[in-house]
Structures are given as C-alpha cells and as structure tokens.
Structure 1
Amino acid sequence: MLELVRRLFRRQKSLYGLDHAVLNVVLPLQSMWMNMGYWEHTSKFPEACESLLVEVLRAGLLEDKSQILKLLDVGCGCGDSSLYLTQKIQSDSKFAPSYESNSQVQAREITSQRSIDTYIGITLVPEQAAFAQQRIDESRKLNQEAASGFAEVFCADAADPSSWSGELKDSISHMADKSSDPKVGTWVLALDTMYHYRPSRLPLFQYANSTLNASIMAFDLILGSETTWKQRLFLRLTCWLTRSPYGNFVPQEEYKNLLIKGGYEPSQIEIRDISGHVFPGLVKFLNQRVKEGTPFGLNVSKFRAAELLFGWWANTGVIRGVIVTARKS
C-alpha cells in the first residue's frame, strides 16, 4: 500500500499529461517486424518490413524450379517472417495484403505454387522464440486449411551451428537433401541479421553448404566501395556502440570470397545493391516516428540515434544494403 501511495504521489503532477496514450494502443499488436524495410512503394513500417522479405524471396525463388521448400530462417525475431512463410504464401489471395506491388504479386505467385515441407526459425532471444512459436501455433489453429508441414522456432545462436541443441539438430537433420532432387529446394533465409554474427558469417555459410546442401538468400550489409579512413574509424565506433562486429563490414568482393570459402561456386553468387530503397525511407520513417512519439512521453531517443546513423549511411554510401543469393549448383 505504501508503494502505491509513493507511485501515485510521484505521478500527481503529470496526471493530466499525454502519457495515457499507451492506454489507447490496440492490443494485441498485429505485427512485431524488426528489419530495415524496403520502402519503394510504402511509408508504413510493417509493409516495408514485409516488402524486404518479399524482395529477398523473389531473388532466391524466382529462378528456383522446386515444388517443395525446406526453409531455415536464421534470425526470425518475433515470428513475422515465420507467419508469412508458413501461412500467407501457402494460401490463396484471401491472405494477401490489401495493397501489393508488382514484386509482391510476383513473389506470392512463385511461392503459392510451392508447399513448405519444413520451416525452422532461429532467434537468439528466448522471449522472441517463445513468442514466435506461440504466434505460429495460434495462426495454424485458426487457418488449418492453409497450414501444412513442420514449423517450429528455436532459441539458438545462428552464428555458431556447433552450439545448437540436440533437439534443434534433430529437427534440422531431415532438411538435409543430399539427393539433389530438383523438386526439393532447401534454403537458408537470413533477413537483416548476419552482420551481427560473431565472429563471422563463415560457420553458417559452411554449415548451410556442407550439412544442409542449402542455397542462401539474405539481406545483409557490406562496406561501401570507397570509404575514407575517417569514415572507417567512425564506423568502428558505431559498431562498438551497437555491438556489431566491425570485421563483418567488408567490401562486396571480400563478402563474395567468404561465400566461396563456405563452398559456393562463384558463378552461383549474386549480390544486388538496394540501398536506395532501404536507408532513405527508413530515415524518413524514423524522423516522423520521433516527432509523433515525443509529445506523448514515449522513449524514442534510441530511434533518433538510429535515424542519424542510417542517415549517415544513406548520405555517404559507407554502408550498403544488399540482397545476396548463393545457389547450390
């Protein structure tokens, strides 16, 4: 009771402020996306995040003739990509968003012709893994006609396959396709995550190639082709502040060589720069969100810092956002 009185006393002065805005937020939230987004056709964060996934899927699956997909989604977060992959793309148009760009229509068409035999998501945060699995289970119960195959999310460090639990390895084991069956496509999906991997992306590349016999499709960050020593010094500082290994930010050719070292053929590797549809739109959105959230006492300071960082990337080209595909030949 005394604690309640103390809290009420501290809040007395702001009783009629704007911080009750939190009571007007509609729960449960419809999405929990967290990536940089692809902003060519939208100014809304969830749509941009979904569009980035769509662009990566198009890059990987457009030329893939397989009819059955096995997917390892590393860095799946709170499960929005999980829901898209296990529900939306497996169903008819009633699961399509109200607005679709041409690329999204194409992505849905090329994926709806396939079935997902196995979906496994990995995230480093236990709360995210539990939340993502709960969302998958609830969605599959509601949409039983669209649900098929195995779908499960695990808490694990995607950067270190050797550390994965026996349960996770058992679930992944039947993904490996050593038969080279053209009807089966095994893919590792990494959406805006691998530049965080310690100490390197290489262990995942080697595991995907040698153990899973899988192709890779990803959105990732690389170092720009022309950077000054001052820019690299400041980048090192920002990496330290954001806990991103500085060594992961390498030029395109070095990134390609890392995939080759992982076992992929040079002719099967493609890297496409989409920075112009990523950083400017994200900066504009963050700027607007900071302006909208500040009057209501929302803690948006870290998003202001992110806005400044991504703005620096957009203006200087020191960091580039790229879609990467590495196919099994």
Structure 2
Amino acid sequence: MWPFFLKFTVSASRVLNVPSEEALKAIQDPVFLITLNPLVIGWSAEPAKPNHYTIRDRLSLLGFFKTVISYTCDFSIRDDGVDTETQAGLGTRLWSKWRARPVSDEPGKTEVSEETTVEAFFLNMPMITRTLKASHGELMDSMKAKLEEGHYTPSRYSQYRPLPYLLPLIAALSMYTWTLVSILLPVLGLFYWLYKTSKDPYDLFHLSLNQIGDEPPRTEWLNMGFWRNAKVFPEACEALALKLTLAAGYREGDRVLDVGHGTGESLIFLLSCPHIPRPATVTGITSLFSHHKRSSDRVHALQASQTQKSESASVVTLYHGDAVFSPVAYKHPLDPKVSTTFDTILALDCAYHFHSRRAFLSQSLRKLTKGRRIALTDICFSPEALSSRTNRLLIKAAHFMPGENIISTTDYIRVMEEIGYVDVKMEDISEDVFPGFMGFLSPRGFAWWLSVHIFSCYVGLGARFVIVSGARAD
C-alpha cells in the first residue's frame, strides 16, 4: 500500500573481544537479545513455541508522553546467527538479521552485526526510526559490555509475570492519544483495515494492478509506468522498463545487475522480451524475502520452458537483501571483496527509497565495467521547489523518502559527477508518468483514490520523475 506503508533499514555492528563461538551462542539466545533492548519492560513465551515471544516496550511519544506497546517476535536460528520477524500494531513489521563472524586478522575477536528493516504506516515512521536509531546503538554497546565482562550466562525458557491489568488499558489510551495528536485517526484506521484485508501473505497487492478485465494477471509489474502510448498498466510498466534499458546502453551478452526487482517482472522482461537482446548473466537483489522467493520460482519456471524450446538460457543469480551493501550483508552483488563486475546496472523506480542513493551510486561505480552505464528511473525535485524552505520541510515531514535522497535535478547530476560518473544524462518524463499513473489509480476504489490525492501533494511540491544514467570512465 505504498506510499502509505514505507520501509526503512538501520544497521549497526561492533567488534567484540570474545571468541566467535561465545558471541554466536549469545545472539542465538532470544531472552538475551530481548533483555538487551533498553525499552523492554517485560516478555512472555509460549511453551509450545519456545521461539515465539510477546514483548512489551515503554516508549516516549512527542518527547515527554510515555506509552506501553505490545508486539510479537519470532526467532529463527541460523548457522551464523539468528533472524527475527516482529509483528506490531498498526501494520508495523520488522525483520532483523543478527550475525557473528570472526575477525580474520585478529584471533579471539568477533564482529557482531545487526540489520533491521521496518515497514510501517508513513505517519508513524518518524517516531519508529528515531526509536530504532537510539535504542539499537545502546543495545549493541550493552551486548559488547556484557560479553567482554563475562556477564552473559545462557538463559533457559523464561516467562515474566504479565503486566498489571491496568497497563494494557493505559497503553491503548496512549496510542490513541498519539494518533489523535496526528489528527489522522479515521484515515489511519481505514487504511490499516484496507491494508490488512486486501494484502495477501506474499505482499502481492500489486497483482490487481496488472489485471486486465476478468482475466487473471499475466504480469507482476510494480512501477509507475510510462503512459505516452500505453492504455493499460502492464503496457505502461513495460514501456518504462524499455526506456530504462535503452538509457543504460544495454547490449546483447551483457552482464546485468537489476536492483529492486520486486516479484521478478523486470527479470523476466530481460530474459524474454522480444524487443531487447538476451543478456549473458542477470543478477538481481530485492529486499523482501517473499519477493525474492517468488522471483526465484518465476525465473526457474521461465528458464525451464526455455530449455524445453531449446532456447539458450542466461545465467541468473538472485540475492535477498538491501540494495546498498553494508558490512552486515553477506553474498551481496556490490560487495567490494567480490571480483564480479557488471556491464549494465538497472534500478527501476526504487532508488529514492535507498539508504542512501548516493551510497548505492558510489558502490555501483566500482562494479561497473569501464565505459559502461548505470541507469535509474527515479524521483527528485525541481530546483525551484527545493529553494523554498517550506517545501523542504513539507517534503521531509512526509517521510516519502529518506532525507538524504531529497535532491534537485541539477544536484542529482552534480552528485553523480562528484562520485566519478561521466557522460551523465537526465531525461525528465514526469508528464508521461505522473498523470497517467494517477489517472489509472483514481477509479480503482476509495483507498487508491485517496492515495492519488496524497501523492498529488508530492507532485505539487515539485517532484519530478526522471531517467538518469552515467558511465564509468574508460
């Protein structure tokens, strides 16, 4: 339900003066991780589900008002750490990856890292991101201190006494107060209901956008589309993907990196569209695991059919992870320690969400073959819009994109050149994107109609939809 539900990723790491076995045992202990959080005031576990916990935090709203929230967390033990999935109120979800690995050149030391991605209603995102940034750094420092001082002992199943019966009522009243302060309780409740009732388990709400008439959807596009000569959503989305590949100077036999591919329609486009040549290799990365899994299944099915037709298949490698490589990421296509390079890098309608876009562009430059290009369809702003302090504050307050990604068209080009790209080109296609996309969504029901009106505010604040590309110098 973008743009109402947004995503944010925060990561942290520490080098601990303890053996990797000890650090690994600690992060695989759910109770130890729970009690590290300075906000936690209680938890309970189900005997039948030892890795399923209900946790209660005390939060500060508006800087002074205290509230108690309750949420559930599932722990999945991995060979090198633990993954957690948290379900909280108002559609908030968090996915965390904890990893412990020995420091190669310093025996007896271990790097412990955590990467957390949060999905939440846009109105609540500022409070959530502030809380995450503040608490998770403190959490890491607490872990380092406890393990290095030898204060950690493995915990057994533990269940705290439930909170007094009045506290849940106080918590509910506090959350309502926070929402009322935001003056959006009715809209928030409506969209939470629509979100929960229309959203299937695989995050496939976009399939309905691809449906034409009564026929089941044949594509799974999820971009705003290029509507100049298109009449339906799949046509517009494919037209935008085609313009992107042309801007990237894509050639037959290229090694392609497709970033933020969703459920894989852009991958299938590269592997089967009759209007473009076939790549030698396709590498993809997307942040949602459900999208990664579905993309893998769809690509394997396509390649199986191509094999039956004796068509030569490209080599496809897919990753689950954030677009920007960080020390907590493993098996990432932009990992500087990996020698793989790409002839073409594509980011279709996703880069404005990256943390940050500049980091992604810097990492991508190092992975580009000399003389070859990266191309992105992206959202930035007119220079006139950002010259207004009021506009800047409104854009930032909406939390439509990370603050560091709010940039003008001219500064976008300048930043790419500062990073090291040459022959930087930008095409403003706003008039062939925004009106068509909003016109397509408006008649699809109240939820989409209201989303169009909110999105139109961003356009009114000077948002521009562009195709930008740059090359690595020879």
Q: Distance in 1 between matches of 2:348 and 2:424?
A: 17
Query: Who is 1:280 aligned against?
Result: 435
Match of 2:316 among 151, 154, 157: 151
Query: Who is 1:122 aligned against?
Result: 285
Letter in 1 for 2:457: W
| 1:237 counterpart = 2:397 | yes
Runs of 4+ in 1 over 6 A off after TM superposition: none
Q: Distance in 2 between matches of 1:167 and 1:159?
A: 9
| 1:140 counterpart = 2:303 | yes
Q: Is the 8 A contact 1:208 1:215 kept in 2?
A: no
Report the CA distance between 1:68 and its aligned residue.
2.0
Query: Who is 1:304 aligned against?
Result: 449
| 1:207 counterpart = 2:344 | no
**Residues 212, 163 of structure 1: CA spacing in aligned structure 2 closer, same or farther, 3 A cutoff?**
farther
Q: Distance in 2 between matches of 1:150 and 1:275?
A: 35
Query: Who is 1:37 aligned against?
Result: 225
Q: Is the 8 A contact 1:221 1:321 kept in 2?
A: yes
Q: Is the 8 A contact 2:254 2:279 kept in 1?
A: yes
Q: Distance in 1 between matches of 2:377 and 2:261?
A: 13
Asked which structure has the greater RCO (Cα within 8 Å, sep 6+), the reply is 1
Report the CA distance between 1:83 and its aligned residue.
0.3
5+ long unaligned stretches in structure 2: 1-197, 199-207
Q: Distance in 1 between matches of 2:314 and 2:252?
A: 13
Q: Is the 8 A contact 1:36 1:192 kept in 2?
A: yes
Letter in 1 for 2:472: K
Query: 1:116 aligns to what SS in structure 2?
Result: coil
Report the CA distance between 1:246 and its aligned residue.
2.5
Structure with higher strand content: 2
Identity of aligned residues (%): 25
| 1:78 counterpart = 2:263 | yes
Query: 1:307 aligns to what SS in structure 2?
Result: helix
Query: Who is 1:216 aligned against?
Result: 374
Where in structure 2 are the equivalents of 1:15-26 lying within 5 Å? none
**Residues 173, 71 of structure 1: CA spacing in aligned structure 2 closer, same or farther, 3 A cutoff?**
farther
Q: Is the 8 A contact 2:380 2:407 kept in 1?
A: yes
Report the CA distance between 1:325 and its aligned residue.
0.9
Q: Distance in 2 between matches of 1:138 and 1:264?
A: 37
Report the CA distance between 1:47 and its aligned residue.
1.2
| Greater CA drift, 161-170 or 219-228 | 161-170
Report the CA distance between 1:229 and its aligned residue.
3.1
Q: Distance in 2 between matches of 1:67 and 1:46?
A: 24
CA RMSD, 1 decimal: 2.6
How many residue pairs were aligned? 256
Report the CA distance between 1:59 and its aligned residue.
1.8
TM-score between both structures, scaled by the size of structure 2: 0.50
**Residues 43, 231 of structure 1: CA spacing in aligned structure 2 closer, same or farther, 3 A cutoff?**
farther
Q: Distance in 2 between matches of 1:206 and 1:168?
A: 14
Report the CA distance between 1:121 and its aligned residue.
0.9
Query: Who is 1:95 aligned against?
Result: none
Q: Is the 8 A contact 1:223 1:251 kept in 2?
A: yes
Q: Distance in 2 between matches of 1:260 and 1:230?
A: 28
Letter in 1 for 2:221: W
Query: 1:138 aligns to what SS in structure 2?
Result: helix
Q: Distance in 1 between matches of 2:420 and 2:326?
A: 16
Q: Is the 8 A contact 2:383 2:410 kept in 1?
A: no
Q: Is the 8 A contact 1:264 1:328 kept in 2?
A: yes
Where in structure 2 are the equivalents of 1:248-287 lying within 5 Å? 248-265=405-422, 268-287=423-442
**Residues 167, 123 of structure 1: CA spacing in aligned structure 2 closer, same or farther, 3 A cutoff?**
closer
1:224-265 CA distance string (max 9 Å, x none): 1212333322222222xx4x2122020122212221232212
**Residues 205, 162 of structure 1: CA spacing in aligned structure 2 closer, same or farther, 3 A cutoff?**
farther
Query: Who is 2:169 aligned against?
Result: none
Report the CA distance between 1:208 and its aligned residue.
1.6
Q: Is the 8 A contact 1:210 1:263 kept in 2?
A: no
